[in-house]
Amino acid sequence: MKRLYRSRTDRFLGGVCGGMGKYFEVDPTLVRVLWAVGFVLTGCFPALIGYILAWAIIPEEGPAET
């Protein structure tokens, strides 16, 4: 079963976009660009609250295996 986690390795702030990119099998940069566009189009506040909520709700993935 596929689960959504915040990324430990592909992160810029909290790993939310990196984890979403891994979950949806797309480049995390695309997720970051879409989030930035949403940030601008919604007047900043809703997208910021959404990111903070995602950061708080989505668990971080387990320790990185080396």
Chain segment 4-50, per-residue pLDDT in tens = 999 888 888 888 989 999 999 999 999 999 988 988 998 888 888 98
Token pair listed for 17: 């976009």
Structure-token match 């979950």, residue found? 23
Residue 60 DSSP class: B
Residue-level pLDDT at 64: 58
Question: What gap in Å lies between CA 54 and CA 48, rounded to an integer?
Answer: 10
Q: Which of 56, 1, 28, 3 is nearest to 36 (CA)?
A: 28
Q: What's the Rg (C-alpha) of the chain? A: 12
Confidence of residue 55 (pLDDT cuts 50, 70, 90): very high
Q: How far apart are CA 66 and CA 55, in angstroms?
A: 25
